Structure 1
Amino acid sequence: MLDKVCLGQAREYFYCVSKAKQVTSRVVIPIKWYKPNLGWHKLNTDGASLGNPGKAGGGGLIRNSDEVWIKGYSRSIGYTTSVMAILWALRDGLYLAIQLGIRNLEVELDAKVIVEMLNNVDSSNKNFSPLLLDCRSLMASLTQFRVAHVFREAKRCTDYLAKNGCYTREDFVIFDISPSNDLDNLLIFVFDSNSLYCYRP
C-alpha cells in the first residue's frame, strides 16, 4: 500500500515539475514575388560565392509595377565572400536603375545583415565600408527608396543571375530580356510571382 502511495506521489511530482514537451506548430507561408506599387520599380539582387570565399558573381533584375522585365544583369566579381558579392550586385543594380531614370525604387535582398546595414546609418564595417557607402550614396540620389528583406524562394530568378555571374567570362552583362534559353531556366522566371514556393518556419 505504501509503495502505491509513494509511486503515486512520485508520478504526481514528475508531472508537476518536469518540463512538459512543447508542441510547436508549423505554419506554411506562401512565398512569391510581389509587384511594386504603381509608379515604382523593384530591384532584386543577389550575390554568390563558390566556397565563401571563392569565385564570386552577382546579379539582379529590375521590374516595373506591371511585372515587366526592365533590365537584368550579371557580373563576374572575382575571388571574394558572399557578403561582398551581394554588395557588388546591389551597387550595380542601383547604378543601373539610376541610369535608366528610375526615381522610386524598392530594393529586396535575402541577406538580413545587408538590409540592416543599409537601413541603419550608424552601421559600418571597415571591410565593407567603400561598397556600403557607394550603395547609400546611390540610394540617396533616388527620389524615394525602400530596402526590405525577402526570402530566397521569392527571388529565384535573381539567384540564377548571380550564379550566372560566377561562370560568365565577361565582367558585366546586361540582359534586356530573360537570358533563359531552355524550358527549365525559363520556368525559374515564372515561379517568382506564382506562390510556388513555401517557407516553413
Structure 2
Amino acid sequence: MTISDRLLTPTNHQLVLIDFEGLMAFSVGSMDVGALRTNSAVIAGASKIFKVPTTVTTVAEKTISGPVFPDIMEFYPETANYLDRTNMNTWEDKAAYKAITSIGRKKIVMAGMWTSVCIVGPVLCAIAEGYEVYVVADACADVSVEAHENAMQRMIQAGAQPITSVQYLLELQRDWASMETYDAVVGLMQRLGGAYGIGIQYAYAMLKH
C-alpha cells in the first residue's frame, strides 16, 4: 500500500513556530488565547514525540515582545537556541532562513502570530521557492477574525494547505498500533485534547471496571 505524499509523516517535514510571545498575544482577537496556547502546545508536543526538526523563532524577544509561551518552552526549553529577529518576515531573516532551508525537508508546517503578518510572509516566500507549506489554522491568531481569515484565504489561494493542531498530531500517529508513540500521544491528548482528552480518560477508567 502506498501512502500519499500529500500526507505528513514524521520524516517528511519540519515545523516552524513563529512569535508565540506575550506582546503578540495581548492583542489577539480572532480566538481565545487560552485555546491558542493549548493548540500551540499540541503541535509542539507532537513534534517532540515524533522527533520532527523544529525551529522556534521570535521577534524582538528581549526588547519588546517578551518570552515565548511557557507551553512552547515546556517542549523546547533551550531558549538560547531560539532565533530572534527584527524582521517581521522570518524568511527574510538570514539566520532563520539558513536554519530552515538547511534542514533539507521540502514540506514545512508553520504556526504562530500574527497570521496576516508574521505567518503570511514566510508562507508565501516558502511557496515561491518550491516548498510545500501547511498552516496550522487553529495555532495561528490575529487581531481580529477578519484579519486571520483573510490571511488564511490569501495563503490557501497561493497553495498553502490548512490543517489543525489535533489533525497534525493524529496524522503523524496515523496507526494506533504504532506503540512506540502511542502512550505519549494518548498522554498528550488526555492533558491538552479538550473533550477528546476527557473521552480518553473516561474510556480508560470505565474499561478497568
Larger radius of gyration: 1
Q: Which has the higher strand share?
A: 1
More helix, by proportion: 2
TM-score (norm 1): 0.31
